[in-house]
Chain A
Amino acid sequence: DAKTTQPTSMDCAEGRAANLPCNHSTISGNEYVYWYRQIHSQGPQYIIHGLKNNETNEMASLIITEDRKSSTLILPHATLRDTAVYYCIVRVGSNYQLIWGAGTKLIIKP
C-alpha cells in the first residue's frame, strides 16, 4: 500500500500562503493524491485531488512533482479559519479505500 509522510505541525501567518508538503514515494502510476482537512470537531472535508498535473480550485492548489513522489498543497491566502489538520492521502488498491495518516496540524496565526 502506498503510504504518505507529512510534517506533524506547521505555522503560517494570516494572509500568507500556506504550503503543506507530502511525500508519497511508493505511489503507483494510477493512484490519485487526495487532500482533506478536518476542522476541530467536524468531519473531514475534501479539498482537492490530482494524478499528474497541477490542479487548482477555489480552495487550494495542488502541485505534484514530475516523478509523483511528493506533492504540495497551497492555500494562497491563509485565514484563521484554515486552522485544521490536513491529510494527504493516496487512494490505494482494488478496494479504492482512502488510507488516512496522522496529517499535518496547520495553525494560522494573526
Chain B
Amino acid sequence: DAGVIQSPRHEVTEMGQEVTLRCKPISGHNSLFWYRQTMMRGLELLIYFNNNVPIDDSGMPEDRFSAKMPNASFSTLKIQPSEPRDSAVYFCASSSVWDRETPNYGYTFGSGTRLTVV
C-alpha cells in the first residue's frame, strides 16, 4: 500500500482564492481525519469521517472551511475564500474503525500539504 496520499505537497495562493486539498486514505481504512498544524497551535483536528460520514466537525474554524468524502477512497478539504491566517501544514490521516476495540488501532498520516496564503 502506498500509504495515505495527499496532494498537492505545496500550495501558494493569493488571499481570497479558493483552495482545495486532496487526500486518498489507505485502502480498507474507514476513518479519515483532517488536521492542521501551526507553530502556535500545534496539531489541531479539523474534522473526521467514519464510513464517509462526517462525525465531528467542531474543529473546523469557520464557514470558509468545508470537507467532503464522496467515497471511501477520496476526501477534500476546501477553503473559500482563503486568508493569510490559514497558512499552515494540513495533514490527512486514516485508520480502521474496525480496529478501534483492538490494540491495532492507530493513525497513518500523509505527508501533508503546506499551504501559504499571501
Q: Which residues on A are within 8 Å of B, measured CB to CB?
A: 32, 34, 36, 41-46, 49, 51, 91, 95-98, 100-103
Which residues does chain B contribute within 8 Å of A34, judged by CB atoms?
106
- Report A13 CB to chain B, min CB distance, Å: 27
Beta-carbon contact of A91 and B105 below 8 Å: yes
Which residues does chain A contribute within 8 Å of B109, judged by CB atoms?
43-45
Beta-carbon contact of A32 and B111 below 8 Å: no
> Given A96-B100, A100-B43, do A46 and B106 touch, yes or no (CB 8 Å)?
yes
Which residues does chain A contribute within 8 Å of B56, judged by CB atoms?
95, 97
Beta-carbon contact of A102 and B42 below 8 Å: yes
Closest to B42 in A: A102
Main secondary structure, interface of A, reads: loop
Which residues does chain B contribute within 8 Å of A91, judged by CB atoms?
105
B34 at the interface (CB under 8 A from A): no
Give the CA-CA distance A98 to B100 in the complex, in Å. 11
Give the CA-CA distance A58 to B111 in the complex, in Å. 22
Which residues does chain A contribute within 8 Å of B25, judged by CB atoms?
none
Beta-carbon contact of B110 and A43 below 8 Å: yes
Kindly identify which residue among B45, B110, B114 contacts A97, using a CB–CB cutoff of 8 Å: B45
Which residues does chain A contribute within 8 Å of B42, judged by CB atoms?
100-103
Beta-carbon contact of B112 and A97 below 8 Å: no
B108 at the interface (CB under 8 A from A): yes
Give the CA-CA distance A51 to B101 in the complex, in Å. 12
Beta-carbon contact of A97 and B48 below 8 Å: yes
